[in-house]
Structures are given as structure tokens and as C-alpha cells.
Structure 1
Amino acid sequence: MLHRRLAALAIVALVCAGPALAQDKKPPLRTGVDGTFAPHAMPKLGGGIEGFQIDLFTEAAKRMKRDITIDAVSFSTLIPGMQAGRYDFIAAPTTVTKERAENMLFTAGYIWTSFQFGIKKGSAPIKGWEDLKGKAVAVNKGTPYEKLAKEMGEKHGFTVQVYDTQPDATQAVLSGRAYATLGGNTTIVYAASKNPQFIADLELKETRAHWAAPVPKNNPQLRAELQDALDCMKKDGTIAKLAEKWFGKKPDADDLAVVITPGYGVPGMPGYDPTPHELKCG
């Protein structure tokens, strides 16, 4: 009789514990990328997407002990999607600017970016903005490249063509609709490596900035958890290996792929938390 009662109590305990155990498991992280922004994210044979961002944040989620779902969408829909609650953070490479940092929290940067022009083979190299007078520059919609190109276009007398994806902007150059495209250095160099008719041209060194992961402004805990995972991946060389795999170049000693910055966020930007914290990597 005693054994029957103990068995019954054990069953009741398991039934009661079931929902609690289920509640302990956090739901999958929801995020998105621009699925045409090679080599960061791009379609793969057989379906799905692959690239630096996919490997980076799949591994980060694993270290956070979370599953992850990554949508491939247009970059211009990502920030509104996160602000509307559709995404927990943005996995697409996102340039940290003062304006953006006032409306979102950023992790520390995980890689440097700079602006670079791409031109068609045989075109005269670009030495400065003044060389673009009377020409057209193609850019990806909703990016800092669009913003800078429009500002400089008004000043130097060139037009700006806006496209939904960076490959579309590159194609505009190859087809002759635009003289050049302005984009991130990694994507321009990658496109040039895949098409001998496309040349990686002038890199604007003064535009070097952090690429980091944005999270909603009201979720500093997620920012901390995500940055801790990324920092641990810097510490053990994982990000450096991924960068070499996808960009074909080993990161320099001062690259954000290997440098761990203090605090949470990007120093000098709104939302930066300088509070020291101990990094615990499993």
C-alpha cells in the first residue's frame, strides 16, 4: 500500500513538474538577415541560407543554450520588424551610428566595416567624390551607404539609384545603369572575387565603423547575454576562424573579430554601459 502511495505521489510530482520544466526552456531566438548580402548571408544549394552571419549567430545561440530561427528578408524591413516585436535582435551586419544607438541597444562590435566603391572592369578608378560628377551610384536601400551617397551626391553632382538588395546594386553597375556601387568592404570584395567584370575600387578608410547586433532598447539582459556569447567566441578564436572562412583573410590584431572591448555596447555611443563584468565562458 505504501509503495502504491509513493508511486502515485511520484506521478503527481512529475505531472506538476512537467509544465515548470517546459517553462524553464526559453523559446527560440527570432532574428533576421538580408538573405542576399553575400558573403554574410546568401541562398545555398538545396534551400536555406548560409554565410558569415548564419554561422556566427547559430554558434552564439548555441552558447546561450537557445535555439534560433533566422529569416531572410530585405534589410530595410529588419529594424521596423524588431521594433514591432517580430525579432529579438538583428543578425544582419548593422553599422552602429549615433542615430541608431539612440533608438536601440547594440552589442560590442564583432567586426570592422568600411565603405567601398565597386566599378565595372575597364572603368576609370575613383580617386575621390569629385570623380563621380554627372554619374550614377547604386546603393542598397535603408543602409548607411544610401545615406552617405545621397549627402555626397547633392554636394558633388551625381545621382543615386536605390535598390532592394546589394546584388541588384552591383548588377546595375555591370549592366551600365550605374557607374559605381557603394557598399560594405566585405561585400564589394566578395562580389569582385566572384565576377571578373566587377572591380573592388576606392575604400573610404575614414568610414571605418563597428558592425554589431542591435537589440530592443528595453532588453539590456538580452544584449548582455548575446555580447557575452560573442566575446567568448572572440576569446577562443571562433570569430576569427569564421572571418577567414568567409572573407578569405585572417583578421588583423586590432580587428573587432579578436578584440574584446570593455563594458556592454560600443564605447562613445548612446546606450553604452561601461560597467566592468567578468566574462565566463563555458
Structure 2
Amino acid sequence: MTLRLSMKSALFGLSALALSASGALADQLSDIQAAGKIVAATEMHYAPFDMLEKGEYVGFDRDLFDEVAKELGVTPEYQDLPWTSILPGLEVDKFDFVLAPVTMTAERAERYAFTLPISDSTVAFVQRTGGDMETPEDAKGKTVGVQKGTAQQAQLEAYAETIGGIKIKEYGTPDEAYADLMTRRLDAVAGSAPLLDYLAKSRPEQFSVVKPPFGKPTYFAWVARQGEGDTLVAAINEALIKIQEDGRMAKIQEKWFGTATELPQEMPEL
């Protein structure tokens, strides 16, 4: 075989590989649409994004993704799983998509395909109403709860170093941390500002948010598997932009957060 023929064969092989890869990338979206359903996993203990009320799944994510599924022309099926099993479950194909709000970080972007932001996720503290924290810096030396394995935990740990130390306790769900806050086992709980604002708004006699939030501004998004999930994410992003532009996003935000917030229509810098 001549060098020219060898190079031609190699180029043909690369082209075939690229076409094969392109077809594989389209498989998840086309398979979902062919099946007529998309299976999405979340933890239904993350108010106001994901909650169980009388056994029924409700919340911001449910309302928003119902609209996205309409745009995709499929029926959504929702799974309730512990947060710590959701991202690993996505990687081993136990479901199609992660509906749990995931804080966008550069480290996670190396492993997962993020959608456009669905909400702000900057971190804040919540304390018992009447507590003595007036600013985030007042957390120094206090015992603070946070959900284990979250980006909020990482930001809390980083912030603790800057102010001289916080005793951090890890919890499986935010609800467990809130319960310990009320029984005075904790001085505060760290979490994303939208969740804590909703908590304080719903139960002002028990909880108050320490203003302002701390750490750098961050966003929540949904995620899919990298590679095969890229076309799925592209379709979901197109749906999210449409939902923002026609006013459905603002109505859902006002329902669950009490106010509408403009979100980026391009991927933010991580």
C-alpha cells in the first residue's frame, strides 16, 4: 500500500468515526422522543424546587420541566432519590436527566453537560428568628449545618477559612439541618439563597435569613451526561429560552420565589 493510499484510508476511517460519533450523540434525544418519555431524577426534599405534598411531587422544577417536556413533545417521569446518589446514577444510565438543581461549577462542567441556568444559587445563612447573627461574618465560631456533598458545603468550607473558623455539621437533607436548627443543635444552616428565602417567607416565626449572601454569585442548572446528552441539553436550552421569552418562566418564578429574575440566555463563565 502506498503512503498516499494509507493516508486516504486513515482519513476515511476518521470521517467514518466522526459520523458514527455524531449518530451516537443524537441517540439519547432521538431515543427519548421515540419512546415518548424522559426519565428525570431529583431529591424531593429541596423546597421550593422539589417537594412532596400529600405524596404528590410539586415545586419550581416540576412546573418548569413540565413546560420543557411539552416543548420536547414527551411525557416526563420523575424519580425521587437521595442527592448523594443522583449524579452517580446519571453516570451509570439509571435515568435520562438530572432535574435536581445542581450548582454550576467548573469542576462539574468537566464531567457533566449543564443546561442554561434555571435559578440563582448564591449561598446564605438562615438562623432562628431572633438569632444574634447580623452579618455573615457573625458565623465565626458557630455551629452551622449544610447538606453533605453539595457545592454549598464547599463554599461554606472556603468561607469558614476566611473568617477564622466555623464548626460544620453535614446532613443528608436540608430538612434534617432545619430540624436541628430549631432544636438549637445548630446556630445556622448554610444553603442557596432562594431556598432560604422561601423557608423564611413560609415560616417567618421560626426562620430568618442573614443578609447579604456570602461567596461568589452562582447559578443552579440541570445536567445530562456529557457526549450523548449534548443534543438533549441543546433542545432543553432552546425550550428554556422560549419559556423565558413568552413569560412562562416569570410566572413560575413568581409562584415559587415571590419574584421574577432574569436569567442568562448564554452559558455563564464558571
**Is the TM-score greater than 0.5?**
yes
1:111 is displaced (CA, Å) by: 2.1
Secondary structure (helix, strand or coil) at the match of 2:42 reads strand
164, 180, 192: which one pairs with 1:172? 180
Q: Which amino acid aligns with 2:179?
A: Q
Q: Which amino acid aligns with 1:33?
A: T
1:75 is displaced (CA, Å) by: 1.6
Q: In 2, are the aligned partners of 1:119 and 1:173 still within 8 Å (CA)?
A: yes
Distance of 1:43 and 1:25 partners within structure 2: 30
Q: How does 1:104-115 map to 2 (within 5 A)?
A: 104-115=112-123
Structure 1 equivalent of residue 64 of structure 2: 56
Structure 2 equivalent of residue 213 of structure 1: 222
Distance of 1:24 and 1:186 partners within structure 2: 33
254, 258, 265: which one pairs with 1:260? 265
1:113 is displaced (CA, Å) by: 2.1
Distance of 1:128 and 1:178 partners within structure 2: 15
Give the direction of change, closer, same or farther, for the CA distance of 1:23–1:83 in structure 2 (3 Å limit).
closer
Q: How does 1:145-156 map to 2 (within 5 A)?
A: 145-154=152-161, 156=164
Secondary structure (helix, strand or coil) at the match of 1:25 reads helix
TM-score normalized with structure 2 length: 0.82
Bigger proportion of residues as helix: 2
1:66 is displaced (CA, Å) by: 1.0
Secondary structure (helix, strand or coil) at the match of 2:93 reads coil
Structure 1 equivalent of residue 16 of structure 2: none
Name whichever of 73-82 and 144-153 sits farther off: 144-153
1:85 and 2:86 equivalent? no
Q: How does 1:35-184 map to 2 (within 5 A)?
A: 35-45=44-54, 47-129=55-137, 131-154=138-161, 156-184=164-192
Distance of 1:267 and 1:178 partners within structure 2: 34
Give the direction of change, closer, same or farther, for the CA distance of 1:154–1:26 in structure 2 (3 Å limit).
same
Deviations 1:144-183 (A, max 9, x none): 1111222333552221111111111112211101101010
1:109 is displaced (CA, Å) by: 1.1
Q: In 2, are the aligned partners of 1:137 and 1:149 still within 8 Å (CA)?
A: no
1:199 and 2:208 equivalent? yes
Structure 2 equivalent of residue 34 of structure 1: 43
Give the direction of change, closer, same or farther, for the CA distance of 1:268–1:150 in structure 2 (3 Å limit).
closer
Name whichever of 218-227 and 204-213 sits farther off: 204-213
Alignment length (residue pairs): 237
Structure 2 equivalent of residue 246 of structure 1: 256
Gaps of 5+ in 1: 1-21, 270-282
Q: Which amino acid aligns with 1:201?
A: V
Secondary structure (helix, strand or coil) at the match of 2:269 reads coil
- Counting aligned pairs with the same residue, the percent is 27
Name whichever of 26-35 and 232-241 sits farther off: 26-35
1:133 is displaced (CA, Å) by: 2.8
Distance of 1:200 and 1:134 partners within structure 2: 18
Deviations 1:67-109 (A, max 9, x none): 1111122222211111111121211111100000011111111
Structure 1 equivalent of residue 243 of structure 2: 233
Q: Which amino acid aligns with 2:63?
A: D
- Kindly indicate whether structure 1 or structure 2 has the higher relative contact order, using CA contacts under 8 Å at least 6 residues apart: 2
Q: Which amino acid aligns with 2:243?
A: M
Name whichever of 52-61 and 194-203 sits farther off: 194-203
CA RMSD of aligned residues (A): 1.9
Give the direction of change, closer, same or farther, for the CA distance of 1:144–1:83 in structure 2 (3 Å limit).
same
Q: Which amino acid aligns with 2:253?
A: A
